[in-house]
């Protein structure tokens, strides 16, 4: 049994939502997290994706003299939340404690911070590797060529399809968003979760009743094969049920650990005791310094749902968003 923790390293403000939900939500802006998912069991630790940072984005992705324009829209700069090393330090870990690093795909926002994990066993699908960069339409989706060249000198294994990392931790080839995307199927004490290797949101997997009349799932707005993406999403949903974790789901901002890591043998509950419901807040999460870290190192403040997003908006709306800068109104999804 493993535990899963989303480590939010940065976020992208005001992203056009239809870039994630194909043919849905055009003109709606959404803040999306860039996440590295920590998978642990006693004596073993892995990361699914390593995320990116504002510095890497500014240095390697954004044009030097202006903001990036992507599909006709100004792409607001990446904002740091917390470096991955800090997330690990809070858990008493360092990068060398990571045994395995899985890259779901090779878009820059998922693989930029690979350097600290160069000694871990890195897994990427060969089909993804051989087709990166995939097409000129997605030129801004990829890291510079030197980044991949450096990665090739690391402890990198190219996989040909599904791969078992350990009992209860499998990788499955799920192309469609990119040519060789992969997803992780992880068994926890709260059930089997699938970390879906595509740039999507929860809404993609769980559309509203109205949306799902023709779309059982909503494919990613950016895709290399629309039908393949749709079919792979159905497969992921069949495996994960209501436990699919999409890479950019805003819920990751406020989500705790999926199942508390047993640090010492838990006392046996009295007969008939009820364990906390899945998703209910546990005391260790209430004290989680990650919540304090977002507001400043010395303040431990309980956040109400939505409060964090509010602060982020306030900080960035007016200086970064051309619509708001000119007095326009924009809905945030």
Residues that bind Zn ion (CB under 5 A): 109, 199
Nearer CB in complex with Zn ion: 99/203: 203
| Rounded (10°) CA dihedral 188, 84, 101, 166 | -20
Q: Rounded to the nearest whole angstrom, what is the least distance from the CB of residue 110 to Zn ion in the complex?
A: 6
| Chain centroid, CA 255 distance in Å | 12
Q: Rounded to the nearest whole angstrom, what is the least distance from the CB of residue 132 to Zn ion in the complex?
A: 14
Nearer CB in complex with Zn ion: 44/138: 138
Q: Rounded to the nearest whole angstrom, what is the least distance from the CB of residue 25 to Zn ion in the complex?
A: 16
Instruction: Centre a 10 Å sphere on the Cβ of residue 135 and count the other Cβ atoms it contains.
Output: 10
Nearer CB in complex with Zn ion: 104/188: 104
Q: Rounded to the nearest whole angstrom, what is the least distance from the CB of residue 221 to Zn ion in the complex?
A: 11
Nearer CB in complex with Zn ion: 8/291: 8
Nearer CB in complex with Zn ion: 245/291: 245
| Count of alpha carbons within 13 angstroms of residue 201, beta-carbon side | 22
Q: Rounded to the nearest whole angstrom, what is the least distance from the CB of residue 247 to Zn ion in the complex?
A: 6
Nearer CB in complex with Zn ion: 36/188: 36
CB closest to Zn ion, residue no: 199
Instruction: Centre a 10 Å sphere on the Cβ of residue 168 and count the other Cβ atoms it contains.
Output: 15
Count the residues in the chain. Answer: 333
Nearer CB in complex with Zn ion: 39/199: 199
Nearer CB in complex with Zn ion: 103/172: 103
Q: Rounded to the nearest whole angstrom, what is the least distance from the CB of residue 196 to Zn ion in the complex?
A: 11
| Rounded (10°) CA dihedral 144, 147, 152, 158 | -70
**Are 204 and 124 spatial neighbours (Cβ–Cβ below 8 Å)?**
no
Q: Rounded to the nearest whole angstrom, what is the least distance from the CB of residue 316 to Zn ion in the complex?
A: 19
Q: Rounded to the nearest whole angstrom, what is the least distance from the CB of residue 192 to Zn ion in the complex?
A: 23
Nearer CB in complex with Zn ion: 121/140: 140
Q: Rounded to the nearest whole angstrom, what is the least distance from the CB of residue 147 to Zn ion in the complex?
A: 15
């Amino acid at each position: 049994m493993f535990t899963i923790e989303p480590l939010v390293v940065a976020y992208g403000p005001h992203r056009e939502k239809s870039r994630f939900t194909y043919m849905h939500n055009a003109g709606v802006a959404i803040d999306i997290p860039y996440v590295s998912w920590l998978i642990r069991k006693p004596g073993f630790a892995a990361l699914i994706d390593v995320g990116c940072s504002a510095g890497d984005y500014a240095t390697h992705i954004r044009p030097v003299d202006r903001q990036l324009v992507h599909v006709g829209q100004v792409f607001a700069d990446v904002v740091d939340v917390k470096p991955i090393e800090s997330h690990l330090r809070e858990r008493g870990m360092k990068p060398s404690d990571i045994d395995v690093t899985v890259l779901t795909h090779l878009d820059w926002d998922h693989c930029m911070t690979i350097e600290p994990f160069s000694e871990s066993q890195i897994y990427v699908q060969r089909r993804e590797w051989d087709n990166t960069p995939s097409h000129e339409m997605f030129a801004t989706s990829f890291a510079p060529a030197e980044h991949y060249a450096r990665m090739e000198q690391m402890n990198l294994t190219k996989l040909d399809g599904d791969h078992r990392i350990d009992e209860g931790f499998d990788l499955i080839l799920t192309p469609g968003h990119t040519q060789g995307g992969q997803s992780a199927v992880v068994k926890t004490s709260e059930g089997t979760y699938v970390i879906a290797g595509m740039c999507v949101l929860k809404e993609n997997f769980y559309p509203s009743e109205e949306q799902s009349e023709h779309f059982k799932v909503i494919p990613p707005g950016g895709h290399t094969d629309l039908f393949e993406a749709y079919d792979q999403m159905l497969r992921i949903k069949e495996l994960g049920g209501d436990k699919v974790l999409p890479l950019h789901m805003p819920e990751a901002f406020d989500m705790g650990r999926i199942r508390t890591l047993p640090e010492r043998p838990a006392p046996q509950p009295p007969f008939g005791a009820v364990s906390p419901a899945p998703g209910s807040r546990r005391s260790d999460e209430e004290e989680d310094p990650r919540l304090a870290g977002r507001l400043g190192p010395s303040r431990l403040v309980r956040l109400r749902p939505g409060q964090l997003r509010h602060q982020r908006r306030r900080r960035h709306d007016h200086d970064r968003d051309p619509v708001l800068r000119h007095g326009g109104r924009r809905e945030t999804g």
